[in-house]
Structure 1
Amino acid sequence: MIFPKPLVHGRLIKRYKRFLADVELDNGDVVVAHTANSGSMKSCLEEGAEVYLIHVDDPKRKTKYTWEMIQINNAWVGINTAVPNVLVYEAVKNQEIEALTGFTHVKREVKFEDSRFDVFASNEKEECFIEVKNVSLKDKQYARFPDAVTTRGKKHLETLMRVKEQGMRAVMVYVIQRSDVEIFTPAFDIDPDYAATLKKAYESGVEVYPIRAIVSPEKIELGEILPFNLTR
């Protein structure tokens, strides 16, 4: 995903009210940026750190900027949770994820029962529901999810198991928007119910692909699939 226009550089003053952040731009102006991330952002919040925003030309919006990334330990971390959905949709459509190739029809936001999944892909032989989650939490060499309790995330896993029971492919993709991690695990201590449900889903045949993204101020693209450990 190439950004449609140059990002705006600044430094984080503070994040507040979950979806807002004050940022000081290079010219000294202080702006309010929309924070497209409902999680705690634990391990990717540092006041004074370099950030990049994108300017939004929408007269209906109160905030004129969206916060895209922050520099932590000399590496960029993507914090916009909408980005992974776009990355995975484009990658599946363009046959860029080896395990998810061969589909002739790819759609976004497709409903199954009472859940809406991020991507649906199909061909003459199979149908596949794909749920995408953004991962920014780091603990040593581990990328972890979630960074806050997520009942919605647990519900998606439960529905994916029912997708599998009906003979379709059920896939969970974790897009890790940081480069300083080597293995994916659920955040057992933050949301043990989610961790247990993910293990159960995997054992039931739900496919799990943690993919590390390459984040830069020019573009964000999917990189390699990381190993994972679903047991403490």
Structure 2
Amino acid sequence: MHIPFPSTLVHGTLIKRYKRFLADVTLDNGEEVTAHCTNSGSMKSCLEEGAEVYLSPVNDPKRKTKFTWEMIKIDGNWIGINTSMPNMLAFEWIKNGVIPGLERYTHVKREVTFGDSRFDIYAENETEKCFVEVKNVTLKEGNHARFPDAKTTRGQKHLETLMQVKQSGMRAVMLYVVQRVDVDLFGPAWQIDPQYSLLLQKAHSAGVEVIPLQVQVLPSGFKLLGVMPYNLNTEKAST
């Protein structure tokens, strides 16, 4: 299932990313603009000055930046770096029943609280209730897609609460949206956040499901490619 961008994107070249949330870009017409970068992580393996980028225009008089940075081309492949997109994609695809393992839900909502955590998606049907946390994945190491690209205490909290969801008798899913096509195996980033990696193993052993979803990002929109294989062991064991 293909999901188009809501507006036509603008092409340019990355000058630099700075202050985490800003990126200077030269548009094809020579104009230099500052775009909002939603990705607060390190963006390791998807940041290259001088690379092609696409921005989406923003029509909001309250916003200082008039563009949002959507994707960057690395080694000939587009990588989606807008961290707000995976939530939207997951919601639409779960609602339409096209994600393997997450089909047949008749009621799907965004931003639902359980305990002291707010999860991205809640879905239910006549037989089950399911909480889904969505994470954006851009980090590449060899042929591996890895998460996170920076330490995440918030991510650890989500895993702890997903285990509580599972213990309460509901379905708990960790959905990783991999916004690049040059990888073929998903795993946690042990060297970057060993605590998160250990907790993901623990959560998986406790029944929290792991679904890495590979998505092809193009200037025209997003194409769901399918579920990737994963290995939650240490880096040495998974290479």
- Give the structure-1-normalised TM-score: 0.99
- Who is 2:227 aligned against? 225
- Who is 1:31 aligned against? 33
- Who is 2:80 aligned against? 78
- Who is 2:168 aligned against? 166
Matching residue within 200, 203, 206 for 2:205: 203
> Once superposed, which parts of structure 1, at least 4 consecutive aligned residues long, lie more than 4 Å away?
none
Asked if the contact 1:87–1:222 (Cα under 8 Å) also holds between the matched residues in 2, the reply is: no
Distance (whole Å) between structure 1 residues aligned to residue 180 and residue 34 of structure 2: 24
Matching residue within 115, 118, 121 for 2:120: 118
User: What stretches of structure 2 of length at least 5 have no aligned partner?
Assistant: 235-239
Root-mean-square deviation (CA, aligned residues, Å) is: 0.6
Matching residue within 181, 186, 189 for 1:187: 189
Letter in 2 for 1:70: I
SS at structure 1 position matched to 2:90: helix
- Who is 1:107 aligned against? 109
- Who is 1:16 aligned against? 18
Letter in 1 for 2:142: K
Deviation at 1:221, TM superposition (A): 2.6
SS at structure 2 position matched to 1:117: strand
- Who is 2:158 aligned against? 156
Matching residue within 141, 144, 151 for 1:142: 144
Deviation at 1:98, TM superposition (A): 2.1
- Which digits, 9 at most, give the CA deviation of each residue in 1:36-82, with x for residues without a partner? 11100000000000000000011110000000000000000000000
Asked if the contact 2:100–2:227 (Cα under 8 Å) also holds between the matched residues in 1, the reply is: no
Asked if the contact 2:42–2:150 (Cα under 8 Å) also holds between the matched residues in 1, the reply is: yes
Distance (whole Å) between structure 2 residues aligned to residue 5 and residue 107 of structure 1: 24
Distance (whole Å) between structure 2 residues aligned to residue 214 and residue 124 of structure 1: 33
Letter in 2 for 1:65: F
- Which digits, 9 at most, give the CA deviation of each residue in 1:188-222, with x for residues without a partner? 00000000000000010000000110110000132
- Give the structure-2-normalised TM-score: 0.96
Asked if the contact 1:136–1:177 (Cα under 8 Å) also holds between the matched residues in 2, the reply is: yes
Letter in 1 for 2:92: E
